[in-house]
């Protein structure tokens, strides 16, 4: 129902001060949020947008911690100053996202490096948000994914860490058509045959018409090169790459 949808979306946006443009273009949303926004159309979308605006303009909604703002905007000096009186490792937004989540999503290598060398960094590496999503998942969405992914994995985050849906960061890299992220993950040991809770491997996320897209074709070839199983079967009996015309793509497995 619209009411259930509205409640869900208010939860998803975390009552951050989204402008109408940001809501429409997904310019300031997480991968989880964007995935849900894209499924909303018509009257429901209008109801949701209005509900978000009302909820997020409420004076009872606290503003984001200044350290989160600094992590998102790359303000290292501000973080250093805030660290004098606060443990950066303990700062989280209301959905459990740490400063490392936000810095990774924003692609700020220098912020990630600072946080990973700050007191409490071991706990920060282990920390996932309330839906089990790690900073590594959010790094996939970054414009600077390769460098951030390398830093996070080198610091000790598993390349195969799953969220609550059993999805790895590689699942997200395929979902979001991020070849640089996929390459970095695979080169750092990501398993292309890891199953999520539905039994999907990352190759199950390869879209129809993939070979018509340079980025998707790159991801597919990388996953196969690193041992991805084109015949992997999910919980519903679907074969991962059953939609690929192998006769038209004879070099894929070479």
The token pair that represents 87 in the structure block = 């443990």
**How does residue 246 score in pLDDT terms, banded at 50, 70 and 90?**
low
The CATH number linked to 240 is: 1.25.40.20
Quick one: three-class SS letters along the chain? CHHHHHHHHHHHHCCCCCCHHHHHHCCCCCHHHHHHHCCCCHHHHHHHHHHHHHHHCCCCCCCCCHHHHHHHHCCHHHHHHHCCCCCHHHCECCCCCEHHHHHHHHCCHHHHHHHCCCCCHHHHHHCCCCCCCCHHHHHCCCCCHHHHHHHHHHHCCCCCCCCCCCCCHHHHHHHCCCHHHHHHHHHCCCCCCCCCCCCCCHHHHCCCCHHHCHHHHHHHHHHHHCCCCCCCECCCCCECCCCCCCCCCCCCCC
Same domain (yes/no): 55, 141 = yes
Lowest mean pLDDT among 107-111, 194-198, 206-210, 217-221: 206-210
Same domain (yes/no): 150, 247 = no
pLDDT in tens, 123-161: 889 899 999 999 999 999 999 999 999 999 999 999 999
Instruction: Domain of residue 219: give its range.
Output: 168-253
**102 part of a folded domain:** yes
pLDDT top residue among 167 and 43: 167
pLDDT in tens, 24-34: 333 444 444 44
Q: Give me the number of domains the chain comprises.
A: 2
Same domain (yes/no): 151, 194 = no
Q: Quick check: 100 and 127 in contact, CB under 8 A?
A: yes
Same domain (yes/no): 82, 175 = no
pLDDT score recorded for residue 251: 64
pLDDT score recorded for residue 143: 93
């Amino acid at each position: 129902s619209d009411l259930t949808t509205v409640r869900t979306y208010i939860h998803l946006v975390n009552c951050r001060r989204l402008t109408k443009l940001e809501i429409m273009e997904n310019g300031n949303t997480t991968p989880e949020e964007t995935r849900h926004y894209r499924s909303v159309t018509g009257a429901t979308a209008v109801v949701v947008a209005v509900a978000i605006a009302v909820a997020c303009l409420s004076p009872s909604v606290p503003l984001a911690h200044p350290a989160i703002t600094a992590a998102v905007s790359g303000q290292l000096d501000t973080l250093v100053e805030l660290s004098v009186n606060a443990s950066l490792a303990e700062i989280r937004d209301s959905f459990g996202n740490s400063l490392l989540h936000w810095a990774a999503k924003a692609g700020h290598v220098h912020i990630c490096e600072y946080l990973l060398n700050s007191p409490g960094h071991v706990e920060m590496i282990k920390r996932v948000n309330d839906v089990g999503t790690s900073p590594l998942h959010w790094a996939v969405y970054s414009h600077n994914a390769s460098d951030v992914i390398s830093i996070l994995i080198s610091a000790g985050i598993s390349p195969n860490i799953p969220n609550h849906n059993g999805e790895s960061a590689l699942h997200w890299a395929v979902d979001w058509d991020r070849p640089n992220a996929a390459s970095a993950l695979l080169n750092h040991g990501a398993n292309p045959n890891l199953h999520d809770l539905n039994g999907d491997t990352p190759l199950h996320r390869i879209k129809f018409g993939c070979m018509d897209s340079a980025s998707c074709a790159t991801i597919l070839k990388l996953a196969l090169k690193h041992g991805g199983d084109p015949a992997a079967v999910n919980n519903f009996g679907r074969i991962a790459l059953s939609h690929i015309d192998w006769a038209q793509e004879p070099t894929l497995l070479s």
